[in-house]
Structure 1
Amino acid sequence: MAGQGPPPDMTEASRSFAGAERADPADPGIDRLREIDGDGTAWWALDISDARALIAAVDDGTRSVEWASALLAAVRIADADQNALHALGPLGARWRMVGQPVTACWPSEGWGDLAELVAAAAAGRPASRRISTSLFDDATITVSGNPARPDMLIVSLGGRVADHRSFWLVRASEQRYRSLIHHLPWALLQVDATAMAPIFEALRCRGVTDIGAFLAAEPEVALRSRDIVRVTDANLKALQVLGVESADRVIGSVDFVFSASPETAKRVIKAHFDGARSYTEVMKLRTFDGRLRDVALTVTYPTPPERLDVSMLSLDDITDRLRTDVQYRQLQADYSRAARISMLGELATSIAHEVNQPLAAIVTNAETSLRWLARDEPNLAKAMQLTGRIAESARHASDIVKRVRAMAAPRAAEREALELNIVVFEALAFVRHELETRAIDLSMRLGSSLPRVLGDRVQLQQVIVNLILNAVQAVGTKGRIELCTAPDPHDGVAFTVHDSGPGIAPEYLDRIFQSFFTTKDEGVGIGLAICQSIITAHGGTIGAANHPDGGARFRFVLPVAERAP
């Protein structure tokens, strides 16, 4: 830049720099022009001769981020004072800054503001505004022209210094940060959402407080937001998740993130509007190579004094994990059904007895009815009474078959509010014959006015039947079993089975609920393991212990319906 004549006049703190010499790397008196009063004001001289075409070609209403970066890349630094050198200059002499494009020295988050001011000053309009960047906090930047040098502009910046390090030290620190982010094993997108600030401000001025309802009524606002919020960087893991090789494919509108889950975008906007620090949900993501993936999206919103142009989006691909969870739940369901079928096999004699009772009644009542009808004077009233008994016995038999089929059939779990006492009575229908044939003394102490529990009726029946059968097998003949339901001190409902058997060997207490552990000669060892998995899935707990009065005690606790998962 040497040899282009004297610099423009610059005045600061009543000190005139008119007619000073241009920067020359070999000039031993180079610092005499740059020493200032130390009030934090920094000065630059900018050469805009190569940027005239860009300034003239673009109207105010169509200026973009790309326009700002292209304009400042064409503007050259002609001179700078000591404060400017410290804030934005590279390490070393002034000559390493002079002649460089503005984009090499000015923080990128301030390019838009500076480009607008340069364009205004070049057109002879007042050019001043307050800005905040990574280096300057609430500073005032002014750009002015010099009629004698139309291709030269003077930039002054005054205000609080947000970071006393130079731009180059900050850039080195940020580069280390970016390198770390770039190689993290989590998919991260850096997003600039500053364009949402004026939208939010306008909505608040209109009195909007529930932006969720507003977006539901005016979905085009969410669509526009997805277009103006921009992805500015992506790390290697994010490129892998999105199915691209270069970050150039993803830098731009953030719309692609929400194309398969548009409602997620509304919830992300709502969290931002409401001032949340972060937001997380599982959503569908359409990758650039056409795959539809399940991802856990986490958005971290910046708050002052952090850089407001940096929001972080984390994309955790959980597709395989969810598929594994589905397979695990299916295996668990099959496992549970196998246990129910095994239990029904043990109850085959009881079930046959339960069904035979109404069938025998049907036969007896039918034969008696035929005899009344075969008389010379048929007794129709008696025949009608017997026919009603036949229908009642048939319904009883049908109910027994339905209970057995419900216990054996493959089915999805269905959660509903249940009265635990009723579930206990339903479970007893499966084991009543076992209790009667073994002359077991059954006593029940069922709590009154118990809160309901949220659960699957068949699964809870399965647990109770299993526990009672274990007690039956433990006490043998003419033993005693006590059932109890009662409120639990920790906002739950408890069910307890206490038998008069020999109890549980101490060495087995810690293993009693393990899969395939059994002390029975013909046992499989899945009944109690299934009981534990069912109760755990219901948000409850189950345990076993030896009772102080003898025998074993099994107890489970379920949360009440309004607290259950």
Structure 2
Amino acid sequence: MAETAARRALADEGNTSWNVGAETELADLAPESVMVFDLAGNIRYWNPASERLYGWPAIGSVGRSITEISSNAELYVRQWHKLLREGTWAGLVERCTSLGGKVTAAVRQTVRCDAEGRPRDIVEYGREADQEFDQTAVPDTGLPRLAAASWELDTSRIRPLLEAVRDLVSRDLVADLAQQPDWTDELLKGTRIVNVNERAAQLVGAHAGRAGMIGKSVGAFWPRVGRGVLAELIAIVATDRSVTSMRKVAPDGVLRDAAVTAWRSEALERRDTVFVAVNGATDDDRSFSYLRASEERYRKLIHHLPTALLQVDARRMEPVFAELKAGGVSDLNVYLDDHPELIAMAKDVIRVTDANQKAVALFNGTVPADLVRPASFLFAASPETARRVLVARFEGKRSYSEVMKVRTFDGQTLDVRLSVTYPASPERLDVTLISLEDITERLRTERRLRQLETEFTHAARISILGELVTSIAHEVNQPLSAIVTNGETSLRWLSRDNPNLVKVGELTTRVVSSARRASDIVKRIRGMAAKQEPERLPLDLNTVVDEALLFVRHDIEARSIYLSARLAADLPMVLGDRIQLQQVIVNLLVNSIQAIEQRNGSLRRIDLSTSSEDGNTVIFSIHDNGCGIVDGDLDRIFDCFFTTKDDGVGIGLAVCQSIVMAHGGSIRVSNHPGGGAQFQFSLPKQSAPIF
């Protein structure tokens, strides 16, 4: 009753005209408690130092009467009257803290007037009475007071539930009910967040941030530990407006020695609003100074890592993503096709906040501050990468990686592997880590290696053609001989008294056909001999086999070798380079021909076949009835420069293996149970159509 009378006495002073003004921006930075009241004693401004001194967060303090936290409301009213009469007052006041204790503060209060000299508001400066030097320290601990994690909650949706437990509150039985998970979950699910401060968002806001938490259920963010306590406090203060209640909660992995305080404003228009403040230290048994030193060691470690690291603050994109998802956007890629401006906006609002020494060196900067700027410079040389990084974040991935190009500050373009690690609760949501690995030299070396491999493969083809020179000469001589024969016959028909033009026409047609055949042979040989970059196209392996057989047909016939070719019908297409795959098949055929020559006996045979395994793999197999391979050589047969021939170079099978592996396949060799060697290689079928 005394407190209510004190409020009425303050209100009777009556002046509702009040405006804090822009000066509060400076007061936010003051180490001293700064408060502003209207003439009725209602709090209109409450700076962070006031939060630290009294424990009450600004969210729940603004709008309250100062008598609500005064330990002696009647005494405070007398002081207030004196202040309004004299314009200033200084002295000691005793106020209640959010944790249930009391603090004595030395305050100075001043009445401010408007331009016409009428009282406008009261400004109070204060500090803890026994603090003479460090005004931010908690006595006897040396630890800084942290602002409470504060919440403003709306309980209007659970009013029927709260009315149902009113009787339990009056009989002090709500604690028993709070142990029932169903009741607790229903209450917390229906209680909506109206506002939270930055500390609450940092502790439990996940990726949502403050903007993403407002309007959501408090149960979606409150840690599992302490949910019953919160439900109990909401039920108590929501059904008894005069009550401020506090409970201790067990460590939750975020805070230790945490205390939850809940209260309500007496304003009738805010009857469904509950304020909650959570005070506690970081859940770590080590001292604050130790933690600071540990953090500094961690920072130094990061700054001297051999990998370029950037720390990025991407929080400003979270409300954008939340709004898009709320609007039904599920595929950001499709959305960005119609709204490319979002990418440009993201590159400007996402900022690099720190960089280590390796990152500074990568971009040819001088100090980390050179890189502390909007992240757009990262994607100047690879603008599409920014899109893919955004999409990965929108889809909730924890990490993303790709090879991209970056442009250094002095204009160089580097190849780097970008790796992004996105934060997840309870990690700091303002820290997205980007690592950049300079792979410029590695890619240059790989390109050079591929060039050498191409040259090596070309040399192997030339070597094979050298071994097939007799067969090639025979292939070319056949159409040339036909051309000569048909040409000479045509001349004889033309030299007659009555030339047979019909016959000459037939012979001329044969000449043209033979010339085209000779041209095809030359083209085939030139294709095998040419030095060119591999070209991957959809291929029918049976067609490749037929073309390869044309190179060795004469040698097979000249040596009286029986060739059996069983080519499977409806073979799946493979993706490959036609010339390279021909090279593999020709090389295996030449090896079989040479192996058969060493065999004594009349029957000489080569069996080759194509087949498909489960429709996903295409297999080529070749088996000759030669002498086979010495068991000790089977493991070395594909080694470069390994050969069992006196005049061999030993690069053919090594090149075959490299070609097959480059096509995503495998090659193997074994001695056939029926005698001779068997080579088999497999290739994956073409996985997608090529347009």
**Shorter-chain TM-score above 0.5:** yes
Distance 1:493 1:5 in 2: 80
| Aligned pairs for 1:127-276 within 5 A | 129-132=196-199, 136-137=203-204, 158-159=277-278, 161=280, 163-165=282-284, 168=289, 170-276=291-397
Change (3 A) 1:546 1:429: same
Distance 1:283 1:80 in 2: 60
Task: Work out which of the residue numbers 464, 485, 510 in structure 1 matches 2:635.
Answer: 510
Change (3 A) 1:93 1:337: same
Contact 2:400/2:421, CA 8 A, preserved across alignment = yes
Distance 2:423 2:143 in 1: 34
- What SS does the corresponding residue of 1:342 show, helix, strand or coil? helix
Give the deviation of 1:251 after TM superposition. 0.9
1:278 maps to what in 2? 399
Task: Work out which of the residue numbers 607, 611, 622 in structure 2 matches 1:482.
Answer: 607
Whichever residue aligns with residue 493 of structure 2, its letter is W
Contact 1:187/1:316, CA 8 A, preserved across alignment = yes
CA deviations 1:315-367 (Å, max 9, x no partner) are 11111110011000000000000000011011111101100000000010111
Distance 2:595 2:519 in 1: 32
Give the deviation of 1:266 after TM superposition. 1.3
1:152 maps to what in 2? none
Moved more, 202-211 or 374-383: 202-211
1:470 maps to what in 2? 591
Distance 1:444 1:270 in 2: 52
- Structure with the greater alpha carbon radius of gyration: 2
Distance 1:274 1:557 in 2: 37
| 1:537 matches 2:662 | yes
Distance 2:452 2:107 in 1: 73
Distance 1:537 1:548 in 2: 30
Contact 1:90/1:96, CA 8 A, preserved across alignment = yes
2:430 maps to what in 1? 309
For normalisation by structure 1, the TM-score amounts to: 0.77
Contact 2:94/2:105, CA 8 A, preserved across alignment = no
Distance 1:421 1:237 in 2: 54
Contact 2:623/2:676, CA 8 A, preserved across alignment = yes
- What SS does the corresponding residue of 2:282 show, helix, strand or coil? coil
Change (3 A) 1:534 1:10: closer
Structure 1: gaps spanning 5 or more residues? 21-31, 50-75, 99-104, 111-126, 143-155
Distance 1:387 1:257 in 2: 69
Distance 2:361 2:108 in 1: 42
What is the RMSD of the two structures over their aligned residues, measured on CA atoms? 4.0
Give the deviation of 1:290 after TM superposition. 1.9
Distance 2:486 2:538 in 1: 39
1:558 maps to what in 2? 683
Give the deviation of 1:14 after TM superposition. 5.9
Task: Work out which of the residue numbers 649, 652, 675 in structure 2 matches 1:527.
Answer: 652
Contact 2:95/2:104, CA 8 A, preserved across alignment = no
Change (3 A) 1:97 1:202: closer
- What SS does the corresponding residue of 2:505 show, helix, strand or coil? helix
CA deviations 1:155-175 (Å, max 9, x no partner) are x98227583347655544433
Contact 1:42/1:81, CA 8 A, preserved across alignment = no
| Aligned pairs for 1:269-348 within 5 A | 269-348=390-469
Whichever residue aligns with residue 361 of structure 1, its letter is A
Give the deviation of 1:214 after TM superposition. 2.7
Give the deviation of 1:517 after TM superposition. 0.5
Distance 2:349 2:55 in 1: 41
- What SS does the corresponding residue of 2:455 show, helix, strand or coil? helix
Give the deviation of 1:393 after TM superposition. 0.3
Moved more, 331-340 or 555-564: 555-564
| 1:349 matches 2:416 | no
Whichever residue aligns with residue 130 of structure 1, its letter is N
Distance 1:505 1:556 in 2: 20
CA deviations 1:365-420 (Å, max 9, x no partner) are 11111111111111111111111111100010000000000001011111112111
Distance 2:539 2:367 in 1: 56
- What SS does the corresponding residue of 2:346 show, helix, strand or coil? helix
Give the deviation of 1:240 after TM superposition. 1.7
CA deviations 1:466-499 (Å, max 9, x no partner) are 0010000000175211111112358311111111
Contact 1:488/1:557, CA 8 A, preserved across alignment = no
Give the deviation of 1:48 after TM superposition. 13
| 1:445 matches 2:566 | yes
Q: State how many pairs are aligned.
A: 486
Give the deviation of 1:253 after TM superposition. 1.1
Whichever residue aligns with residue 180 of structure 1, its letter is L
2:490 maps to what in 1? 369
CA deviations 1:95-137 (Å, max 9, x no partner) are 7869xxxxxx779xx9xxxxxxxxxxxxxxxx97433459744
CA deviations 1:190-239 (Å, max 9, x no partner) are 10000111222333344333322332333222112111111111112211
Task: Work out which of the residue numbers 621, 625, 643 in structure 2 matches 1:496.
Answer: 621
1:16 maps to what in 2? 71
Distance 2:657 2:456 in 1: 13
Whichever residue aligns with residue 467 of structure 1, its letter is L
Contact 1:33/1:81, CA 8 A, preserved across alignment = no
- What SS does the corresponding residue of 2:534 show, helix, strand or coil? coil
Give the deviation of 1:44 after TM superposition. 12
- What SS does the corresponding residue of 2:644 show, helix, strand or coil? coil
Moved more, 275-284 or 325-334: 275-284
